[in-house]
A = this chain, B = another copy of it.
Amino acid sequence: MRPTTKDLAKAAGVSLATVDRVLNDRTGVREDTVKHVTQTIEKIGFIRNISAANLARSKSYRFLFLLPRTGDQFLSELISRIAEANLGFASEAMRASVAHIHESDPHQIANFLGTLNRETVDGVAIMAPESPQVRDAKARLEERGIETLSFISGQIMPGEGAFVGIDNHAAGATAGRLMGRFSDRKPGKVLVIAETMRARDSLERRLGFDEVINADYPWLTMLPSLETYGEAERTDRIIKNAFASNPDISGIYVLSSEARVPLQTVTQISEARQLVIIAHERTPFTEAALLSRRIDALITQDPGHLVRSAIRIMRAASDGREVLASQEKIRVEILLRENL
């Protein structure tokens, strides 16, 4: 049998009330009593039963995911994973909801964050580019006792605050390695397509990509990044231009999470050519493209894992617990047709 608070009280020679005061950091206990109880906890291996505690304080976990307001397939995937997690954790009194934001408007995001309070929310996972406004708003939430988490993007500095997402430099480097090794040592130019290069995520991916290509694959030449700004006609036009002025393109790396529009254009143009194409994120579109050999590899992060990891971290923070770091590292996954 695992020791309970009662056992702990007996072992420490104090009353249940004192044990309770120590466990919950209440006032009115002498310092050496606290120390003694703490030592007894170690000694008898007392482990708090969080389920029972949550039951007693009728606590439930209410988490909020702040996501961009686009129609992106990757986002839909995230949203359905959140719904799924809601079911999976339902018997543990956890409820996650989604709110949409304009990711490019830090002011609006900060405003929204300002309206949140402990009565309604225990933790917020925010998917938005870094900005001073949002950073401050997060700090203020933390002060009010609401846990915050940078989700997928928006990590200001590694190690600063909680972050759930992949290392984008590593993701780009992985794409670069595959591009190089899939190139059959044939000279050619490599086109990089991004939604915007103003986001840190994109920059890091490009950096990692270039590093590997430059170091190990001298027969490949990098072209400047094309920026689509998420506009279909623009995307179509700039890609066609790029192909017109560079007949020797041999590889394409789409580093934004929405690969659909650029790839549709590319497919039109280069039906005949042998291009190596690498994109990001698994969506119904990219999955089909991989299966039909229109693209060669995907660099992904598992949406379900992202969501569950965010929830576990927020829950642990909300309990004042530590988390298993090894479990929470989001892997840069490589998907080929064979391991879909």
Q: Which residues of A are interface residues toward B (Cβ below 8 A)?
A: 2, 47-52, 54-55, 60, 84, 87-88, 90-93, 170-171, 173-174, 176-178, 181-182, 184-185, 208, 212, 296, 302, 304, 308, 321, 324, 326-327, 331-334, 336-339
Is A170 touching B338 in the complex (CB atoms < 8 A)?
Answer: yes
The reply to whether A336 and B174 form a contact with Cβ atoms under 8 Å apart is yes
Please measure, in the bound complex, the distance between the C-alpha atom of A49 and the C-alpha atom of B339, giving whole angstroms: 37
**What's the Cα separation between A337 and B173 when bound, in Å?**
9
Chain B residue nearest to A169 in the complex (CB): B338
Contacts of A337 in B (CB 8 A): 177
CA distance A100 to B178 in the complex (A): 40
Q: List chain B residues, Cβ under 8 A from A173.
A: 338-339
A92 / chain B contacts, CB cutoff of 8 Å? 50-51
If A55-B51, A93-B51, A326-B84 touch, does A331 touch B338 (CB 8 Å cutoff)?
no
Closest to A48 in B: B91
The docked-state distance in angstroms from the alpha carbon of A209 to that of B171 is: 26
28 contacts between A and B (CB under 8 A): A2-B60, A48-B91, A49-B93, A50-B92, A51-B52, A51-B54, A51-B55, A51-B92, A52-B55, A84-B324, A87-B324, A91-B321, A170-B339, A171-B339, A173-B338, A173-B339, A174-B339, A177-B336, A177-B337, A177-B338, A181-B181, A184-B185, A212-B338, A304-B324, A304-B327, A332-B339, A334-B334, A334-B339
A308 to B324, CA, bound (A): 12
State how many copies of this chain the complex holds.
2
The 8 closest A-B pairs by CB, nearest first: A51-B51, A332-B339, A173-B338, A334-B334, A174-B338, A50-B91, A174-B339, A88-B324
Q: Is the CB of A336 within 8 A of B178?
A: yes
CB distance from A165 to the nearest CB of B (A): 14
Query: How near does chain B come to A282, taking the closest CB pair, in angstroms?
Result: 11
Q: How far is the CA of A238 from the CA of B136 in the complex (A)?
A: 64
When distances are taken between beta carbons in the complex, the residues of chain B under 8 Å from A47 are 90-91
**In whole angstroms, what is the CA distance A56 to B151 when docked?**
37
- Chain B residues near A332: list those with CB within 8 A: 338-339
A254 to chain B, nearest CB (A): 18
CB atoms of B334 and A336 under 8 A apart = yes
In the complex, A181→B331 CA distance in Å? 23
Closest CB in chain B relative to A334 CB, distance in Å: 4
Interface centre among A2, A90, A173, A181 (most CB of B within 10 A): A181
